[in-house]
Structures are given as C-alpha cells and as structure tokens.
Amino acid sequence: MSVLTLGLIFGVVTLLIMFSGISIAFALGIVAIIFMYFFMPASSLDTVAQNVYEEMSSITLMSIPLFILKGAAIGRSRAGKDLYDALHVWMGKVPGGLGVANVFACALFAAMAGSSPATCSAIGSAGIPEMRKRGYSPGFAAGIIAAGGTLGILLPPSITMILYSVASEQSLGRLFLAAIGPGVMLVIFFSMYTIMRFRKEYATAYEAYNLNSAVTSPILDRHTYTMQQKISALPRVLPFLVLLIGVMVALYGGYATPAETAGLGAVFAFVLIALIYGMWRFKDLYPLLDVTIRESAMLMFIIGMSLLFANVMSYLHLSQSAAQAIVDLHTSRWLLLAAILLMVVVLGFFLPPVSIILMTSPIFLPPLRAAGFDLIWFGVVMTIVMETGLIHPPVGLNIFVIKNIAPDITLREIIFGVMPFVAIMIFSVVLLCFFQEISTGLSDWVMGPPLS
C-alpha cells in the first residue's frame, strides 16, 4: 500500500472517530491503536503504556499540573474580582475605562493563571454584569471578556507554549519571552478598539437622549473615584503582582527551572490566598485540588494520546511524507506560511490548541525550518492564530464560557461581539510577519541571539 493511500485512510478514520462524539484523547488513542494493530509489528501493542509514559516523562511537561494548581488557587479565590475592581477604579477617567480595565484585568489574570477559560470565568463573572449595568451593549461586553481571555494561551506561563516547546524542541524560556511583546501589543489593540467602540455607543446614547430626554442610558453617567478609593483598592492586588514578578525573576534570573518555577508559584499562590482571603481549611482547598487533578488528568491524557498518535504517523512515514510533499511544492516561503496558518485556523474550528500543536508539529515544523523561519517566532504566531479558534464558531470554547456565565446574552450577540477582536488578531499576525522583532527582540536581548 502506498504512503498516499495509507495517509488518506488514516485521515478519514481520524475524522470519522473524532466526529463520532468521542472525547479527543480517546479518539486519538483509538486511531493510533487501530493502525498499530494493522500496520505495525504485533509487539508494538504490548508497549503502548511504556511508549506513552516515555513520551510524557519530559521534565518540562511536569510544570503543567503545577501551573494549573497555581491558576486554580488564583482563579477560585476572589483575586480575579479584586484585580478587576482595582483596575476599574484606576481607569475611571479613561473613555471606556471600564472596558479597558477588563482588558487589562484579563491580561494580568492570564499571566498569573495561564488558562483562557479560567480568565474568562474569573474576570467575566464580575466584569460583564458591571459593564452591562453601565450601559455597554451585551455583545460588546461579552466580546471584551472572550477576547481578553484568549491571552491566557499566549502570555506566560502558557500551557500551550509549554507543549509547543516540547513538540518543537525549542527553549521554553525564549518562547515565554517571545510571547510578551505580542501579548502587550494585543492588549493595546484591544484597548484601542474598546475606547473607539465605547465612544460610538456613547454617541448613539447621547443622540437618543437629545432627541428624547426620557430615553437615557447608564453609559452617559460619569463615575469618578477619589485618590483614597484608588489607594485602598491596591493592597489585595499588589501581592499577586509581586508573585507574578517573582516567578518571572526566578525563571529568567536563572534561579529555577520552569518546573521549579511552577512549583514555587503554586506554593506562594496558596500562601497568598491563605493570608489574604483566609482560605487555609481543607474545605476551602479541596475544590482547588479537585479541579487541578481533573484538569491535569484530562490534559495529560490528551498529551499522551496525541504523542502516541504522532508516533504512529512517524512510524508509518505519514508525517515525513507530508512534510516532504510540502517542501517539494517549491512555493514561496510566505505562501507556505499562509497555507499552514490557514490550516491551523480550520483545525481550530474543531480542535483545542493542545491537540493542534501535538498533531501538526511533525508535519509543519520541518518545512518551516527548511524555509528559514524562526520556530520561536512561528510558535508565537501560531498561538495567536489558535487564539482566534477560542472565540470563533463552531467550537469557540470562550464563547461557551461566556454563555455559561451570562446566559441571557444570545450566542448571536456574543459571536458578533467577538468578530472585531478576531480581525484585530489577524491584523496582529500580519504585523508580526513584517516586524518579527516585536516577538524575538526581547528574547534575544535577555538571552542573547539563538545559536545557529
């Protein structure tokens, strides 16, 4: 049987099993075992558990449950609401300051928790009702939180970046640093759009009020805060910002490995919630440990099965043949990049970022490396493209998180609310293609140019 025929059968079987409704981890594992049974030596089935264990025994992957534990400690406490309240108070005079405060709160919370759904849930549960109470349209409020939540897979510590580091064999420290510049850029772009959209909604409400003074909107009300109120909002937030800075210093100062940094972050996060919120009893900590075990088990299962799936593809020479076929097209390097990113967008309709990275890396990375692309830079670009998958249908995980915390906002309103942010992300990817230094500049400055 030719490699092309085998590859087509492999692809069709994978799609059929995935669309059957089976969870992604089991679907990938079933496909891998089926093809091991029919096309690989019989002895390979006897070593499935050993192979999966060996693939997952990376010290880098050990940091994932620890980062999840740190995120759970912050996400399941009142830290998200306190962070949001403090930013809201300090940005009161900015046009659309409440919306901008939500964008910044999402960014800072994402940098501490490293999870997009957790960011949406923690900030959105406080931010969406407040924005709607102040007159923001439902779709606008939902779009701000859904888009801000996507920063959880970009800003360090990012689980997606950790997996890309393992799949591409690139420095995790460089990837974390390379994500900061684009992450800040997205925060600025999101904030600029929020201000422009707020002014438009404000002008519409003001015009309606001028035509009929009985038709008023809370968006026309002005809220100011005294310096005393601003200062009093800081004490609960500053310890978590110190935690964020401390983790970064430990990692990039060479004082701890990524796994050790994740452990330190988790321990200090638990200490902070115990001191600040009095969460030290077992009944307080049990939900945090429970969600950590559940999410870690689910994620590690997906990782293990994805790596087994990739190994079967490699053994059958499917990934190598696909990569070689792409190289043999002799197309423009930028056309190659555009085609790969378009495929990532399509996969994002159906799959989470974790599966996309582990399934496609053996196929995409060799041609990109041969075309002369910096794989650190590509990791950041690919992550931003996958961010759009979190907020566009038909899957759009963050869309359903928002729908869960704000059930009275229709899916249509949420989808139309996030579309401008999707356009901003696409524009940011184009900008990164022209100015790669936005991503690589900081990592090269801190860690020196990469070795050739």
Residue pLDDT, tens place only, 289-336: 888 888 788 878 877 887 788 778 878 888 778 777 777 777 888 888
- Give per-residue burial for 247-283: e unless 16+ CB within 10 Å, then b: bbebbbeeebbbbbbbbbbbebbbebbbebeebeeee
Render pLDDT for 28-41 as a digit per residue (tens, 0 to 9).
888 888 888 888 88
395 pLDDT above the threshold of 70:
no
Contacts of 19 (CB under 8 A, 6+ apart): none
* Greatest CA separation for the chain: 80
193 pLDDT above the threshold of 90:
yes
Q: Are 279 and 287 in contact (CB under 8 A)?
A: no
192 pLDDT above the threshold of 90:
yes
Report the range of poorest mean pLDDT among 108-112, 114-118, 215-219, 282-286: 215-219
Distance CA 142, CA 145 (A): 5
55 pLDDT above the threshold of 70:
no
46 pLDDT above the threshold of 80:
no
Residue-level pLDDT at 59: 72
Q: Are 292 and 64 in contact (CB under 8 A)?
A: no
Q: Are 164 and 377 in contact (CB under 8 A)?
A: no
Computed from CA positions of residues 129, 135, 137, 141, in that sequence, does the dihedral angle turn out positive or negative?
negative
9 pLDDT above the threshold of 90:
no
Q: What is the dihedral of CA 355, 357, 360, 362, to 10 degrees?
A: -120
Structure tokens at 315: 């053994």
**CA-closest candidate to residue 56, choices 267, 293, 360, 296:** 296
**CA-closest candidate to residue 121, choices 401, 308, 390, 417:** 401
Q: Are 113 and 75 in contact (CB under 8 A)?
A: yes
184 pLDDT above the threshold of 60:
yes
91 pLDDT above the threshold of 80:
no
Structure tokens at 252: 């990039």
Alpha helix segments (H runs only) across 157-281: 159-168, 172-211, 227-232, 238-252, 258-277
